[in-house]
Amino acid sequence: MLCGRNSAKKAGETLKGSWYIICAEGSWTDALNLINTKIFSAGNIFRRAHGHSLSDTILNIADYLKNSEASGWSADLKGRLNIEAPHCATQASPLAELELALLTGDEAAYEKFSLPTIEFTLSRKSAHFSDEPKPNMYSGAPHTMTIPSTIWYEDYYYSLNRLLDGNNPWLKSLGTLPKRAAPYSSLALWTVLFGKWLAEPSDELLQEVKTECDKWLAENFKDGLSEENDYQKFVNVSFYPYWWLYQASGDKKYLEAARKGAYATLGCIWNYPEAKAGERTTINKGGIVHGVPHVWWLDRKKYRMGLEESIYGG
């Protein structure tokens, strides 16, 4: 790979490399299926769970979230610590902090995690917050507070009221609709409307969701061989269960869109050839660690598990 490791060579030196050439009849999705299941390790994601149920998994996640140290909960910042900035917390999935207490019937978790999270979402301008008046990678003023917050939309406030047994209808008045898609999150209007519909279903709102979703599908799914879908709409902060709209409407075009979107997601997952059974592999040969060299933050200190602080000046 140009500009990659060992790509720079002197005159007369030989550049060696290896790669797979796939020649198969079918679409690119057929080729991706072949690569993922026969060559690369992603085939393992298609296995069925063995030994543990989905309920076990959820309870394991709940135990992890309730462990403040392990999950990076910051009581003073009212959120989980963000590794990309010093002394910064991020509410990436605020409803999950409330669901944690509701699903486990844990009033202590409600007081410790849920209520501070609700306070955060009602008062912080951004999903990323620091109480120090210093710029960070997210903002020149990460300590800014606004009431109500401007980062969450109607889907959040309607859902929050729903999870609180509908006893706080005033929350619905705080929500707005996005005027445009955020450049990083690729948040689509139809997903906000759909979240609102999940909290308070109606035939009229579902039709509006479908209309907006149809516009989104026409814009973001390219059928021509010379055009590629924008991967950002299907990965990272743009994940959304598109098949739910099929379940809500019964229209199979949304199920087909979910399948296509899933391939766009799978095509972006880091993937490597599997080690052969019985084959020994040396990790970090010669004591040299390759990979992402950057050391992130644990609150106010640089930190990477397993490395001596003297290496990176923590």
| Residue appearing with tokens 């149809």 | 214
Give the residues across from 273 on adjacent strands. 40
Task: Check whether 1 has a pLDDT greater than 70.
Answer: no
Confidence of residue 145 (pLDDT cuts 50, 70, 90): confident
Tell me which H or E stretch contains 128. strand 128-129
Q: Give per-residue pLDDT as tens, 31-44.
A: 888 887 787 765 56
Task: Check whether 46 has a pLDDT greater than 70.
Answer: no
Task: Check whether 161 has a pLDDT greater than 90.
Answer: yes
Task: Check whether 275 has a pLDDT greater than 60.
Answer: yes
- Higher-confidence residue of 158 and 236: namely 158
**Mean of per-residue pLDDT scores for the chain:** 83
Are 97 and 117 within 8 A, CB to CB? yes
Structural domain boundaries in the chain: 19-48
Query: Which SS3 state, helix, strand or coil, does residue 73 take?
Result: strand
Torsion of CA 54, 59, 63, 65, to 10 degrees: 70
Residue partners of 101: CB distance under 8 A and separation at least 6: 107, 109, 110, 113, 114
Ramachandran category for residue 186: left, alpha or beta (phi over 0 → left; psi -120 to 50 → alpha): left
Q: Give per-residue pLDDT as tens, 210-241.
A: 999 999 888 888 765 555 667 777 776 665 66
Residues 56-82: what's their mean pLDDT? 95
- Residue 155 phi/psi, 5-degree rounding, is -60, -40
- Residue 283 phi/psi, 5-degree rounding, is -95, 135
| Residue appearing with tokens 């490399």 | 17
Residues 24-52: what's their mean pLDDT? 76
Task: Check whether 164 has a pLDDT greater than 90.
Answer: yes
pLDDT on residue 241: 60
In whole angstroms, what is the distance from residue 79 CA to residue 123 CA?
Answer: 13
pTM value is: 0.81
